[in-house]
C-alpha cells in the first residue's frame, strides 16, 4: 500500500499573495503567519507557526503572508476531486448547443 502524500512547501515573502487551487487539502503554516480567505465564506482564518487548516474539495483559497512564511500544502488521501462548477454549461447553452442533462 502506498502511503505517500503529495506535499508542496511554498516560501512566501511578507505581503505575498498566493492562490491555492481547489481540492481537499491540509494547509500547514511551518514558519511565520498567513491569512487565509475562502471564496464565498465570510470567516477568514489566520495561521501561525504550527497551525493547520483543512479545505473542502470545492474551496478555493487565497493566502496572504502577514510575515515571511512557509506554507505546506498536503493533498488529503482518498479525497475526491472537486466537481466542475455548474456555470460551465452556460456558454454552450447560450450559443445554441445541447442543453445540460440537468435541464433536459
Which CATH number goes with the domain that contains 29?
Answer: 2.60.120.10
Q: Which residue has the higher pLDDT, 78 or 47?
A: 47
Nearest to 76 by CA among 21, 9, 7, 13: 7
| Rounded CA separation 70/9 (Å) | 6
Does a structural domain hold residue 36?
yes
* Sign, Cα dihedral of 80, 57, 20, 11: negative
What pLDDT does residue 4 have? 58
- Calculate the average pLDDT of the chain: 80
Does a structural domain hold residue 103?
no
pTM of structure: 0.69
Indicate if the pLDDT at residue 6 is higher than 90: no
Residues above pLDDT 70, as percent of the chain: 69
Contact 74, 84 (CB under 8 A): no
Alpha helices in 1-104 (DSSP H): 89-94
Does a structural domain hold residue 101?
no
Write out the three cell numbers for 78.
Answer: 482518498
The predicted model gives 30-55 an average pLDDT of: 92
Nearest to 75 by CA among 25, 36, 30: 25
Amino acid at each position: 500500500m502506498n502511503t505517500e502524500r503529495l506535499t508542496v512547501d511554498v516560501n512566501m515573502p511578507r505581503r505575498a499573495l498566493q492562490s491555492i487551487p481547489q481540492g481537499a487539502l491540509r494547509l500547514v503554516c511551518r514558519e511565520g503567519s498567513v491569512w487565509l480567505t475562502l471564496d464565498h465564506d465570510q470567516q477568514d482564518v489566520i495561521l501561525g507557526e504550527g497551525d493547520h487548516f483543512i479545505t473542502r474539495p470545492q474551496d478555493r483559497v487565497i493566502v496572504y503572508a502577514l510575515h515571511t512564511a512557509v506554507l505546506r500544502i498536503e493533498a488529503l488521501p482518498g479525497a475526491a476531486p472537486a466537481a466542475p462548477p455548474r456555470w460551465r454549461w452556460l456558454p454552450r447553452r447560450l450559443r445554441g448547443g445541447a442543453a445540460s442533462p440537468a435541464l433536459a
